Amino acid sequence: MTAMELASYAMDVRRTRGRRYPEAQHPYRNDYARDRDRVIHSRAFRRLEAKTQVFTMRFSDHFRNRLTHTLEVAQIARTVAGALRINTDLAEALALVHDIGHPPFGHAGERRLDARMREHGEHFDHNLHALRIVEQFEQRYLDFPGLNLTFEVREGIVKHSRDYVAAEFPALSEYLLGERPPLEAQIIDLVDEVAYNTADLDDAFEARVLDFDQLRTEVPVFAAAYDGVDRRHSEGLRKLKFNEALKRILDRLVTDLIENTRRQVEASGVETVEDVRRQEKRLVGFTSDVAGECASLKRFLMSRVYSDPAIVEDRERSVAALDDLFSFFQDHPERMPKHYADLAQREPRHRIVCDYIAGMTDHFLLRQCREFLDASPPKPR
Ligand code: MG
């Protein structure tokens, strides 16, 4: 999309606050397109392939992992950004980078790392970890550390899913914490939600951890979608009708997000990105009806899928392995690779151990456990 076709409140790449280390313009890729490409070529992005989304490998290897989830988020983000006439390159870059700071074993792994850091009066937060990855840990270029991303991509990494208070996070003060992020960043958390609320049901159905009748009873938006499909294709295979129902739900959520955001943007009277930034509240959102439907999907996933005994068992064993490895490296920092072992002599040890573990894939962490602790990782059934 050329700049001419962008809405006036879209982030125009020509008005970027730029990179930390100035670089010459590329002849045919704009700065946000380059940022998107840099994310795709990073190691942390490739490692998403071996990080759990919900289902570990023992269920099957055609379920989503964090990389394929990320690609689905990017696809929806592009669609939403295009329909709103905001910057699709920026939205895509933000979608592709949104989970890059996730440690092994999803949110359970994040909570455990955070608990270990709190013992030392610190935190672990995947958004802030993502920022450190793109600023420091990725080493690919001769001229600068990290990926040298534009300000708006770094800002979106920090602010896409929550607001941070400057008093509590002084290190983030450059990211305009008192202001809302551009719309391209505001859409990310919601399209993330659309992506996993539908995809996790799909995977749960395939993994046979989902009770179809329970889903119909407890989630009216599913019942309505499925019944609509069933009326037209009563002879069809249940699996295909289920897929079609999920597709309709996804479409319903995305359409509502686009139309309601358009209405809210219009009602607010914003004309520029600076206007968007100065708003009291974020302008991207579902109508309250559809927000309620999302909440019911999420409630069902929480109470019926994420709490399935097989998933819980995997999760607990994985998190225990992470915990043991954290303790082991705390006691034996010299057993980490030389780079981290050296750092641990100069900087707080728990911080270096946390960074090292957070970067691991699930497999690698379990292998390390086997190697150092002789603990058997979860076995496939
Ligand atoms: Mg995500």
DSSP symbols for 11-50: --GGG---BSS--PPPSS--HHHHHHHHHHTSHHHHHGGG
**Every domain range in the chain assigned CATH 1.10.3210.10:** 3-307
Q: Give one DSSP letter per residue of 323-361, joined into a string.
A: HHHHHHHHH-GGGS-HHHHHHHHHS-HHHHHHHHHHT--
174: helix, strand or coil:
helix
CA 192 to centroid of ligand 1, rounded, Å: 5
CA 333 to centroid of ligand 1, rounded, Å: 31
363: helix, strand or coil:
helix
CA 343 to centroid of ligand 1, rounded, Å: 30
CA 229 to centroid of ligand 1, rounded, Å: 28
- Residue 381 in this model has a pLDDT that exceeds 80: no
What kind of fold does domain 3-307 have according to CATH?
Answer: Hypothetical protein af1432 (1.10.3210)
Tell me the pLDDT tens digit for each residue of 234-289.
999 999 999 999 999 999 999 999 999 999 999 999 999 999 999 999 999 999 99
Q: Which amino acid is at 257?
A: L
- Residue 304 in this model has a pLDDT that exceeds 70: yes
DSSP classification of residue 171? G
63: helix, strand or coil:
coil
Tell me the pLDDT tens digit for each residue of 175-208.
999 899 999 999 999 999 999 999 999 999 988 8
CA 148 to centroid of ligand 1, rounded, Å: 23
CA 355 to centroid of ligand 1, rounded, Å: 20
- Residue 115 in this model has a pLDDT that exceeds 70: yes
**pTM of the shown model:** 0.93
CA 143 to centroid of ligand 1, rounded, Å: 31
**Closest by alpha carbon to 372, among 312, 331, 338, 341?**
331
CA 98 to centroid of ligand 1, rounded, Å: 6
CA 47 to centroid of ligand 1, rounded, Å: 14
CA distances 144 to 16, 19, 23, 90, 148, Å, are 19, 11, 10, 22, 7
CA 345 to centroid of ligand 1, rounded, Å: 34
Please tell me which of 27-31, 59-63, 377-381 the model is most confident about, judged by mean pLDDT.
Answer: 27-31
CA 65 to centroid of ligand 1, rounded, Å: 10
Beta bridge pairs of residue 65: 52
Q: Which two tokens stand for residue 344?
A: 């641990």
Among the residue ranges 150-154, 218-222, 270-274, 360-364, the one predicted with the least confidence is 360-364
